[in-house]
Chain A
Amino acid sequence: MVKDSGQYYYVEAVNAALRRVLEELPNTIVFGEDVGEPGGVFGATRGLRELFGDRVFDTPISETAILGAAVGAAMMGMRPIAEIMWIDFILVALDQLVNQAANIRYISQGRLTAPLTVRTQQGALPGSCAQHSQCLEAILAHIPGLQVGLPATVQDAYDMLVAAVYSDDPTIIIESRGLYRRFREEATLAGPVQSVGGARVRRPGSDVTLVTWGAMLYNALEAADMLSNEGASVEVIDLRWLVPFDAETLASSLLKTGRLVIAHEANVFGGFGAEVAAWAAENFLYALEAPIKRIGVPHCRIPAAPHLQAALIPSASSIAQAIREALQ
C-alpha cells in the first residue's frame, strides 16, 4: 500500500490515483487490455482488481469496443476509465473519440455528457518499433470537445489523472512509459482534486521561455542547466495540459523574456508546437526579440535501433543549441 506522501515512481502515482477515484466515486470502472487480472502490462493497475473486483476488468483486444463502451457507459452516468495500452493503438478506434465522445455534450446541448477518461502512454524508447513509439498528442488536441493532458512529474501523474476522472468531459491522459519507473520522486498522493488545465513554471528564468510537455521536460531542464553554466537564464514551462491551453502562464513568461523556444518529442511539422508558436506570433509578435524556435523530431518515422532514434529525438544538447540560437 502506498502512503499519502513519500517517494514514488510515476507508475505508482498512476496506480494510487486510480485507487483513489475507485474509492471515492462509486460510478468509476477501469478496463482495458490486460488491466484486470494481470494488472496492466506496465503495472499501472496492479492490485486494483483484488481491491475493487468487477469494477476493474480485462477486455478483448478491441480498441473500438473499449472506447465505445466507455462512451456509452459515460452517457448513462458512469465515469469509465479506459486504458489504451499504447497511443499508437488509439488510431484504430479514433472514431469513438473524435466522432463520438467529442460530440456528445455539444450536439445534445448538454443533455448528455461523456465524462470518460482514457489513459494511454507514448514515446520512443530504445528498440520500440515505429508502431509503438509515436507521439500523437497534436491529433487529439486538434479535436474540440476533448481535453488532453501529459503528466511529466510523479505528482502530476497522480493529480492530473484524478482531475481527469473528476472532470465532466472526455479527457485523454497521455502518460510516459519512459517515466513509469525512471526515478522516484517526492509526491503527495492525496490532497484536493484539481481542475483540468494549468501550466507550471518548472524553473524560473528571465532570458528565454522554453515551453515543453511530457517526458521532454527532463531534457528541457537539463538544457536549461547547460545554458545556466553559460550565463543564460532559461524559464522552463511544463504545459501539462494542451487542452485547455493555459495562455496566461505563457503570456506572462513571454512578456518577461521576449524569446520562445518550444521543445517536444513529437515531430515538428503540424505538431502542437506549431499551435503554441502561432499563438505567440499572433499575440506577441512585437514583444518578441528573436524568431520563435521549435525543436522536435524532424518529419520522419521512428526507427527501432537506439542509435537511429538518437539521431532524431531532441536531446538536452540539441535543445540547448536551439536556445543558443534564440538568444543570438
Chain B
Amino acid sequence: MTTNRTDNHKAQLDLLRKILRIRIFEERVLQLRLEGFIVGSVHLCIGQEAIPVGTCAVLGPQDVVFATYRGHGWAIACGTPLEALFAELMGRATGTNGGRAGSAYLSAPDYRFYGENSIVGAGAPIAVGAALASRYQGSNRVVISAFGDGAMNQGAVHEAMNFAAAFDLPVVFICENNRYSELTLTARMVRSDRFYERAVALGIPGQRVDGNDPEAVMEAVEKALQLARQGGGPSFIEAMTARLVGHYVGDPETYRAPGELDALRKVEPVAALRERLLASGVPREAIDTIEAEVRLEVDTAVKAALAAPLADPAAVREHLYG
C-alpha cells in the first residue's frame, strides 16, 4: 500500500464499519427470526461479509450485482437502506419488494442490486445476460455474479462461464467459497475443490483470494473490473471464507468438526480487521465508536420497519403482467 498510515486507517475503519453494518444487521435478523417477527427460511452471511464489502468498495455507479439467497450482505454493500431490507423481511409495504420477495429473493435495482436468487447457480446466466446488454448499450457496466462453492456443481454456472468466455462479456464471477454445499462438505462432492482452476480451464483468468480480507477482495475485483472494461472479458475470483452460522436459521450444524467454529472465529473478517487495526495503533475507542454508531443505525432501521404498514393484500395480484 502506498497510501500513508492515517489515510489507510481511515479507509480500513470505513471497511470495518461496512462489515459491521452487515454483521449487526444479520445478528438482528437472527433475533427477529427467532422472535417470530420474521418468518420463513433465512440464510445469514455472518462471516462472509468481507466479500460483498470489498467488492462493492471498488464498483462504479454503473456496475450491477447478482447474488444468491445468502444475499443480505450484498444488498447492504450495494447501499440498500437497512430499513427497506428489514421491512422486506417482515412483509412491510416499505420493503424493497413490498413483502413479495422475503429474505431469500429480494432485489433493489435502484441501488445496483439486481437481486438474490433462491435457485442455486441460476443467477450466473442472468448476470451474463446483463453483461451482454452492456455490450449493445455501449455501456462500460460490469456485472458481478456472486455464488457459493455449492453452485460450482450446477450446470447453469458452467454454461454461464463458458458463454461469458466465448463472447468476452464484462462479468466478474465471484465464488464465495465457504466450503459447504448447504449441509454437505463440498470437498466430499468433488475430486478437486480448487474451483478457480475450472475457470482457467474455460479460458477465464481465475485466482484464489482470502475472502475474509476486504482489501484482498478489493484488489482482485479491481483488476477484474479493469480487464472487463478493457474488453478482456470475464474473470473468476474464488474468495475463501466461512459462514459462522448454519446454512439456514435452525440448521443444527451437525456437520461441523469439533473446534471448527472456534478456529474460524479467529480469522473471521471482523476479528481479523479489528486486530489488524489495534496492532497498527488505532485506539480501541475509535473502533468501539463505530460499532456503537452501527448498532444505533440498525436499531433505528428496525424500529422504522416495525412501524411501517404491512403490505396490502388488496394489491397482491398487481404487477403480474405489464
Contact = CB atoms under 8 A, between A and B. Distances in A.
Q: Does B associate with A? A: yes
Interface of A: 27, 29, 55, 57, 59-60, 62, 64-65, 67-78, 80, 95-96, 99-100, 103, 105-113, 144-145, 147, 167-169, 244
Contacts of A67: 125
Contact of A76 (B124, B134, B322): B134
Contacts of B129: 68-76, 80
B322 A110 contact: yes
A100 B231 CA distance: 28
A106 B100 contact: yes
A64 B123 CA distance: 11
B131 interface: yes
Which of B110, B155, B159, B320 has most chain A Cβ within 10 Å? B159
B75 to A, nearest CB: 13
Given A68-B124, A73-B133, A109 B159 contact: no
B160 A68 contact: yes
Nearest to A244: B321
Interface stretch (B5-13, B101-109, B233-241): B101-109
B319 A72 contact: no
B130 A62 contact: no
Contacts of A169: 321-322
Given A76-B130, A106-B319, A55 B136 contact: yes
Contact of B127 (A72, A77, A109, A167): A72
Contacts of A59: 163
A96 B117 CA distance: 11
A55 B134 CA distance: 13
Given A108-B115, A112-B114, 18 more contacts: A57-B167, A62-B159, A68-B122, A69-B125, A69-B129, A71-B125, A72-B127, A72-B132, A72-B133, A76-B129, A76-B134, A99-B122, A105-B320, A106-B100, A109-B100, A110-B322, A147-B321, A169-B321
B101 A72 contact: no
A100 B126 contact: yes
Contact of A107 (B100, B162, B321): B100
A145 B132 contact: no
A78 B163 contact: no
B97 A108 contact: yes
Interface in B58-91: 64, 66
B119 A72 contact: no
A73 B133 CA distance: 5
A144 B64 CA distance: 27
A112 B297 CA distance: 29
Contacts of A60: 159, 162-163, 166
3 pairs of A and B residues whose beta carbons are closest in the complex: A68-B125, A72-B129, A76-B133
Given A68-B129, A95-B122, A113 B159 contact: no
B137 interface: yes
Contact of B136 (A78, A110, A244): A78
10 contacts: A29-B132, A64-B160, A72-B129, A78-B132, A95-B119, A105-B321, A107-B105, A108-B115, A109-B97, A147-B321
Nearest to A108: B107
Contacts of B134: 76
Contacts of B204: none
Contacts of B143: 72
B24 to A, nearest CB: 27
